[in-house]
Structure 1
Amino acid sequence: MIEWILTEWTQILGFATGAACVLLAARRNVWTYPIGIANNLVFLVVFVPAGLYASAALQVVYVVLGVHGWWRWTRGVEHDREYVARTPRRAVPWLIVAAVAGTALLTWVLATFTDSQVALADAATTSASLVAQYMLNRKWIENWFVWIGVDVAFVALSIATGLWIIAALYALFIGLCVSGLWSWRRVQSESTDAVPTADTRA
């Protein structure tokens, strides 16, 4: 048991910090960001040897987005724990374009410059994750739907690359995301005044 822990300690640490990060996000707790940044650094160490280069690079971008979200949840309108909002309609096309363009660009980069055997899947989950993280930073409730889709894909991708502990973590994430969606919807229904129906910010 001890030998297994010593061998897989990075995946175990990633499991623990990742689960805590999602749980805190579901509860709209700003501590999701510092713990999330720690989780990004752990996953960076895990993904590079597995050949998930886009997912590894994603962790670096996550750190930047983590700082952005940390600032918004402490300085922006999102600092109110009871605040959640619907995704503005004008933002939806841009989010889709960002996800598709990011997938195309990363697929080309991975296929051209790396030995990745899962270029398209790695690129697609990476791009969708960035979109989901930005939506979470803005406390747009639909971020949970994107995260659920990403986590389902990551379970399959992690199994395909032999990262069984990470696969279990993302399976747990799916349940936590469903819980987060339910929790945010409850806040939305209980505090309708805090949910702008004509939010035009992007």
Structure 2
Amino acid sequence: MDEILTLLGGMFGTRAIEITAAICGLINVALIIRRSLWNYPFGLVMVALYAVIFFDYKLYSDAILQIFFFVIQVFGLFWWLAGRRETGELIVLRASPRQTAVVCAITLSAILAIGAAMSRYTDASLPYWDACIATLSVIAQSMLARRLLENWLVWIVVDIIAINVFLAKGLHPTAVLYAVFLGLALLGLIQWRKAWLGQQA
């Protein structure tokens, strides 16, 4: 029993604010899979809480990243409201080949630039892999806000990389949490693809 509590504590934290943020995060993803607009209240609360948590732990880059996530979720709410059928069902879009090429070029450039900066100017551990996770997370969140099916593919890559990074750093409970996120991302890809195929009928 003590081992289970330790594992859960490592995944969700032991403070009320950490537990609340993690629960909001899981609810947020579950509602996104269902293409429910109600994901946004939970998502906004989650990123606001994590901004406070990261700032408290002096993880300033992560705290700033949460500000971006908060802003993009506000835009995402309006884009989702505008992208619904008369029945209220969210319309799933696909990224064009041109969009995909531009996103890949921006992503690669950002990873190399951030990784190089972190490697040169900080004592960051695994700077390029860390830059990869951060950059891809921004890309995935932006694609999600635009209702693009491919956002789930990017989240899957993020989760796979994150799991391996956290295992390498000995953060096993966090790796387990990201394994849960990986499962949810796979489910999201399946559900959103099914919805997109239904739109083509």
**TM-score, normalized by length of structure 2?**
0.80
Name which of 152, 155, 159 aligns with 1:151: 159
Q: Which residue of 2 aligns with 1:85?
A: 93
Is the CA contact (8 Å cut-off) linking 2:13 and 2:19 kept in structure 1? no
Q: 1:118 to 1:151 in 2, by over 3 A?
A: same
| TM-superposed deviation, 1:168 | 2.2
Is the CA contact (8 Å cut-off) linking 1:55 and 1:123 kept in structure 2? no
d(CA) in 2 for partners of 1:52, 1:161 = 17
**Cα deviations across residues 34-73 of structure 1 (Å, max 9, x unaligned)?**
2122222343455568786654432222112111111211
Matches within 5 A, 1:36-185: 36-45=43-52, 54-74=61-81, 76-78=82-84, 80-185=88-193
Which stretches of structure 1, 4 residues or more, deviate above 6 A after TM superposition?
Answer: 48-52
Letter of the 1:157 partner, please give it.
Answer: V
**Cα deviations across residues 100-151 of structure 1 (Å, max 9, x unaligned)?**
1221222133224432112111111111111111111111111111111101
Runs of at least 5 residues in structure 2 that lack an aligned partner in the other structure: none
* Stretch deviating more after TM superposition (172-181 or 56-65): 56-65
Letter of the 2:133 partner, please give it.
Answer: T
Runs of at least 5 residues in structure 1 that lack an aligned partner in the other structure: 194-202
d(CA) in 2 for partners of 1:88, 1:161 = 37
1:191 partner SS: helix
| TM-superposed deviation, 1:16 | 1.5
Is the aligned partner of 1:12 residue 2:19?
yes
* Stretch deviating more after TM superposition (33-42 or 43-52): 43-52
| TM-superposed deviation, 1:78 | 4.9
Which of the pair has the greater relative contact order for Cα pairs under 8 Å at 6+ separation?
A: 1
Q: CA RMSD in A?
A: 2.8
Name which of 12, 24, 28 aligns with 1:21: 28
Letter of the 1:117 partner, please give it.
Answer: S
Q: 1:133 to 1:7 in 2, by over 3 A?
A: closer
Letter of the 1:155 partner, please give it.
Answer: I
Q: 1:7 to 1:168 in 2, by over 3 A?
A: closer
Percent identity reads: 29
